Amino acid sequence: EVQLVQSGAEVKKPGESLKISCKGSGYSFTSYWIGWVRQMPGKGLEWMGIIYPGDSDTRYSPSFQGQVTISADKSISTAYLQWSSLKASDTAMYYCVRLEASGYFDYWGQGTLVTVSS
């Protein structure tokens, strides 16, 4: 069974750094792109970027380029999303997704809620 299990909720202060994780299981982790999707409170879905764990090829949405860093450690089947300096506007639910070969998101993680507040 394909599963994406994300790390738990985080509460941070503005300016702090953060790295959240997404562990894949039940499939060949290095053979599928993994993506990240943001959902701000009460809002819709926004695609942030993707990574191919097999070679760490990474692509970002223009809206998120330079704002976050996506990485992966294929030895432990885990992808990451990180911020170097959080802002209150980063408060959101973040989902990791697996991309089927043609690009749609066939599996979703349970989400990680990030709250940034002073």
The residue written with tokens 């941070």 in the block is 12
| Secondary structure element (H or E) that encloses residue 45, with its range | strand 45-52
Q: How many CA atoms lie within 13 A of 7 on its CB side?
A: 13
From the list 13-21, 72-80, 82-90, 97-105, the region that binds other proteins by CB under 8 A is 97-105
CB-based burial, 69-104: b 16+ in 10 Å, e otherwise = ebebeeeebbbbbebeebeeebbbbbbbbbbeeeee
Question: Which is nearer to other proteins, 110 or 117 (by Cβ)?
Answer: 110
Q: Does 100 bind other proteins (CB under 8 A)?
A: yes
Cα 55 from chain centroid (whole Å): 17
Straight-line distance from the first to the last Cα atom of the chain, in angstroms, rounded to the nearest whole number:
40
Decide: is 108 part of the binding site for other proteins (CB under 8 A): yes
Nearest distance from residue 13's CB to other proteins, in Å? 26
Q: What residues numbered 34-53 form the site for other proteins, per CB under 8 A?
A: 44-47
> Would you count residue 10 as binding other proteins (CB under 8 A)?
no
From residue 58 to residue 77, what is the string marking binding to other proteins with x (rule CB under 8 A)?
-x-xxx--------------
- Applying CB under 8 A, the site for other proteins has a residue count of 20
Judged by the rule CB under 8 A, the positions of this chain that interact with other proteins are: 44-47, 59, 61-63, 95, 100, 102-111
